[in-house]
A and B are shown apart, each in its own frame.
Chain A
């Protein structure tokens, strides 16, 4: 595999290999919280932050603890514990430091522990054998890509439900999936610019 730098990976993770639209990760909260632009902005922001930080943390734990001790098979447990602990810590800090930030982001933090995109980013990074900077770029890029997707989705969804006439069986998740599919089609236009995998 050719060695990609920080920015190429960042770009690839946002556009060509968007974690939501090509790997389907983080769908639950994507469908559940994309009804309003404001909520999705909050959730998106929280995901960007947590994903960027936990990818780096998990990379460090993996490279300096799990590999030397030959405990790689424990990675699922270790990664999820790192993520859960990090989220809990951030929640505590934000609550103390800033009231406004807590109301904007804090409520979304517990949701994020079980967001598959966060764990997925860490697992992809291990499978693709990223270096430290690549992992950092991938974590940040995936977070941004996820946030971009949910914001676009919320915008489109608001319009569609206001103006469009949706068949009864498609209301709610059904129409959201169709919109997501169309978005995924659009994002395929970026294919070939940079390629991960």
Chain B
């Protein structure tokens, strides 16, 4: 189904080239929606949809896109896809759509999507581009979901609205507020970079 090269691209996007903690792209929305797990999941699905399809579309169109206006074309394709996500959410999940507010629209300026379009979609055949878009989206999504789970658990004492830490648990309100997002992401990057992706440790093992 996938060639070896496509498979290694897929793995890189989840691990060593992860868009969030290695390239540090697209974190605007990473932090803004991660105080509630449910919203994060919706946002992630939207983002995976948009990255995958924008990569595919741009790759199919790449022979006809004049290089000088390519940014404009990329933005327009992405904006159209985001519009679909927005209209869909408004129709089927109005409550979540209201909570996410402007952040659905802000998928347009999410640097991951533009970055993948520039780096991969305009130079690769459609299938590679689709796989790359999909895996970048997933690589982004799982990091977000972990951060959201940590923030919701510590901030409200439960996950997905179900209370897990009962009894004497004192909510860390700071976790669901702005500074909490910064700190959790920083710690996440620290753990991953200093521990899992650290070349010195890998050499020892």
Contacts and interface: CB of A to CB of B under 8 A. Distances in A.
Nearest to A174: B189
Nearest to A186: B179
Summarize B's interface: helix, strand, loop or mixed. helix
Interface in A87-123: 113-120, 123
A117 B106 CA distance: 9
Contacts of A21: 178
Contact of A177 (B25, B72, B186): B186
Contacts of A77: 76, 79-80, 83
B32 A23 contact: yes
Interface residues of A, number: 44
A169 B21 CA distance: 11
A181 B192 CA distance: 19
A192 to B, nearest CB: 13
B108 A80 contact: yes
B147 to A, nearest CB: 12
Interface residues of B, number: 46
Given A28-B111, A173-B24, A84 B182 contact: no
Given A77-B80, A170-B189, A24 B31 contact: yes
A119 B111 CA distance: 13
Contacts of B110: 116
Contact of B105 (A119, A177, A184): A119
Contact of B186 (A22, A117, A118, A174): A174
Shortest Cβ-Cβ A-B pairs, 10 listed: A169-B194, A181-B182, A123-B102, A177-B186, A169-B193, A116-B109, A184-B179, A24-B31, A173-B24, A77-B79
29 contacts: A21-B178, A24-B178, A24-B181, A25-B106, A27-B31, A31-B24, A73-B87, A76-B105, A80-B75, A84-B71, A116-B29, A117-B28, A120-B28, A120-B109, A123-B101, A124-B101, A169-B192, A169-B193, A169-B198, A170-B189, A170-B193, A177-B182, A180-B182, A181-B180, A181-B182, A181-B183, A181-B186, A185-B179, A188-B178
Interface of B: 24-32, 71-72, 75-76, 79-80, 82-83, 86-87, 101-102, 105-106, 108-111, 114, 174, 177-183, 185-186, 189-195, 198
